[in-house]
Structure 1
Amino acid sequence: MTDISQTDYEVINGKVDQSSPRASRLSLDSSCSLIINNITADDAGRYSCRPGSDASSDGLVLLNVLTISVADPTKEDFTLYCSLWRYSDLGSCPGKSFHWLDEKRTELTESAESRLRRRCVSSLTVKHQSDTNRRFTCQFIEGTKVKVEVQHTRVHLYHRAGDEAVLSCNRPSSSDSCSSVDWSYERNNDRKQEVHKGMVQSSSRSARLSLDRNCSLIINNITADDAGRYTCRYDTHVYLNVMTISASSTDADPKNDELTLSCSLERFWSGSCPDKSFLWLNETESELTGEGDGYKSGGQTGCVSFLTVNLQSSRRFTCQFVEEKTVKIETHYGSEGMMSHF
């Protein structure tokens, strides 16, 4: 393989050079074609095949690799970068050679292109996407033909503590196993690898983790500590939000049946819940605001909402988390104990 600055020998006399850093991913088929598994941006460049000692019979292959990445993913507004990595001597990509599409295949025109030493880059800034499932597709175009495309998928899941969560991975249909799948977890600037090459890694929650046949990550009996961002190798980002509800006495007197209910949503963006995004309802589905018969609203702080109640055996209270007029998840507290559902 060659680039304008260096030449590396990957195969010598029909055998993969084991000193190559990519040797474990290289092999030859029966036609002496070079096979590269799990390609990366570093694999882009010019590959030369010399079947004998005559340089005039060299076969040349230019490998271009399209990647997508996100800048500062800790923010709700983010920028996607789509890069075509190629042989440095090819020069600049033609103008308007990148197209961005949303999940409806509608073209997004607010993008910018630039040229770096080994790659052509297009950027797309996306605003206010904390609660919405989105898929962004970047296409590289030559003439009128789509040469290659790559996707960035963001999925937001809402669950309650104790649920089983299934986190889907946008794995190509051509993959027939999970041996190339990695899953990582991130929250509060702490990043951990939960799955590597299809194998669950040792951790405090490894006993609750598994992969299904589609390489989706399954988390059993989830807790508030499981909330955060999970990333599959195929540029799929799943944001797991976990709702919990708890009750505490407001008085040291055990005869006092007044309780404060706390409804919390744990998520990747800590404390990033909009004002008035929690609703409290009684057993007749009437909203509880201010102060009334047997209750007093304690307001909302960050992603926690409070309600003080005189708990009676026949009463049930519901906490809902609402974004853009849609109930994302709700949980109940009452005489039958705690239970939650979407």
Structure 2
Amino acid sequence: MKRKTEKEKMSEYHLCLLGLIALSSLLTGASGVNETHVFISSGENVRLPCNNTLHDCKSTTWIYNRFRDSADELINLGIKMKDTERRERLSLGSDCSLNINNISTEDYGSYTCRQYVNGQQGTDAGVYLHVLHVSQTEISAGLSVTLFCQLYSYPRVPCDDSVSSERIQLFWVNQAGVKLTRSDSRYQISSSSDPCIITLNIILLNEDHNREWRCNVTQRDQLKISVTYTVKSSEPGTKPFQSPDNYTRV
């Protein structure tokens, strides 16, 4: 058997190395490393970045997908689609980003910025939009209130797919930013079978007037968004509990 020369061995090594690099690129694309996650509170305006934009937006198409088997074109080659339900709330930024005004819980989902070059489909850049919404019950006669915090996240069924893969967590904190736990008897914190919903029941005290509670969302231990609720004393003609009055987006 003919023994390989050092030059032949090096050539095989380089071919093997190139193969590994190509395989690594394929795996990176499949795992969604280049995907972006955007967190927003309902009622706010949001900008979804297009991370693969070319020299102008005439090659850019934005596609929306909330369910695995459906897709809608919002922007086609830089032009807003006329039959889009959300047409009045959509606009294309100068950098080809997609702007959505007055976000609702119906806007969560997967958005794809796709490029077409000479009529041929090019690369895609994915954006996952997560919408945080907090609601509440009226203050009861026994002076307690329940807050509901829900993250609308793609895919919704099951929500724990995105929560576990992206290490997304929902939790309540007090005005000082301390995480609330079940050790305090006047707080009842519960999570449903859906990890994207967490509720907080509070037995109110006199000193709770104007006190804040916040629902925080973290991704990989980094704060992404926080919605604050403030309890007000009940007065004739006014609601005892306000809507969100503050949010923090990171």
TM-score by length of 2: 0.71
Instruction: Give the superposition deviation at 1:155.
Output: 0.8
Residues 1:282 and 1:266: Cα distance change in structure 2 (over 3 Å): same
Distance in structure 2 (CA, Å) of the matches to 1:216 and 1:283: 35
**Residue among 129, 153, 158 paired with 1:267:** 153
Contact 2:114 2:125 in 1 (8 A): yes
Alignment of 1:109-258 (within 5 A): 109=21, 111=23, 123-124=26-27, 134=33, 153-173=34-54, 175-176=55-56, 178-189=57-68, 190-201=70-81, 202-234=83-115, 235-249=124-138, 255-258=141-144
**Quick one: distance in 1 between partners of 2:215 and 2:53?**
39
When residues 265 and 184 of structure 1 are mapped into structure 2, their CA distance, relative to the original with a 3 A threshold, is same
3-state SS, counterpart of residue 111 of structure 1: helix
Deviation of residue 180 (structure 1)?
2.1
1:340 offset after TM fit, Å?
Answer: 1.7
Letter in 1 for 2:74: E
Partner Cα separation in structure 2 for residue 195 and residue 276 of structure 1: 30
Q: 1:333 is matched with which residue?
A: 229
Tell me the CA shift for residue 160 of structure 1.
0.9
Question: Cα distance, 1:322 vs. partner?
Answer: 2.2
Relative to structure 1, the CA distance from residue 123 to residue 243 in structure 2 (aligned partners, 3 Å threshold; closer, same or farther) is same
| SS of equivalent residue, structure 1 residue 285 | coil
Tell me how far 1:212 sits from its aligned partner.
Answer: 1.3
Q: Size of the alignment, in residue pairs?
A: 205
Do residues 306 (structure 1) and 199 (structure 2) align? yes
Gaps of at least 5 residues in structure 2 are 1-13, 116-123, 232-241
- 3-state DSSP of counterpart to 2:95: coil
**Cα pair distance change 1:128/1:291, threshold 3 Å:** farther
**How far has the Cα of 1:194 moved from its partner?**
0.7
> Which entry has the higher C-alpha Rg, 1 or 2?
1
Cα shift at 1:98: 5.3
Amino acid at match of 1:296: Q
CA 1:215 to 1:310, structure 2 compared with 1: closer, same or farther past 3 Å? same
Deviation string, structure 1 residues 101-125 (Cα, Å, up to 9, x no partner)? xxxxxxx75827xxxxxxxxx7326
Matched, 1:296 2:206: no
Q: Which moved more, 1:203-212 or 1:283-292?
A: 283-292
Larger strand share, 1 or 2: 1
- Unaligned segments of structure 1, at least 5 residues: 1-93, 100-107, 113-121, 135-152
Q: Distance in 2 between the 1:265 and 1:179 partners? A: 34
Matched, 1:322 2:218: yes
Name the counterpart of 1:20.
Answer: none
Cα distance, 1:277 vs structure 2: 1.9
Distance in 1 (alpha carbons) for counterparts of 2:168 and 2:201: 17
Do the aligned partners of 1:280 and 1:320 also contact (CA within 8 Å) in 2?
yes
Matches of 1:242 and 1:309, distance apart in 2: 24
Q: What is the CA-CA distance between 1:329 and the residue it aligns to?
A: 1.6
Aligned-pair CA distance for 1:321: 1.4
Q: Is the 8 A contact 1:168 1:216 kept in 2?
A: yes
Residue deviations 1:232-280, cap 9 Å, x none? 1131111111111111258xxx524322211111111221224992221
1:119 — aligned with what? none
Equivalent residues of 1:249, 1:259 under 8 A apart: yes
Flag the 1:324–1:310 CA change in 2: closer, same or farther, 3 A: same
Decide whether aligned partners of structure 1 residues 127 and 285 sit closer, same or farther in structure 2, where only a CA change above 3 A counts. Answer: farther
8 Å CA contact 1:246–1:262 kept in 2: the answer is yes
Tell me the distance in 2 between the aligned counterparts of 1:284 and 1:220: 31
Indicate if the aligned counterparts of 1:258 and 1:309 stay in contact, CA closer than 8 A: yes
Tell me how far 1:291 sits from its aligned partner.
Answer: 4.7
Q: Partners of 1:276 and 1:231 in 2: how far apart? A: 21
- Report sequence identity in percent: 28
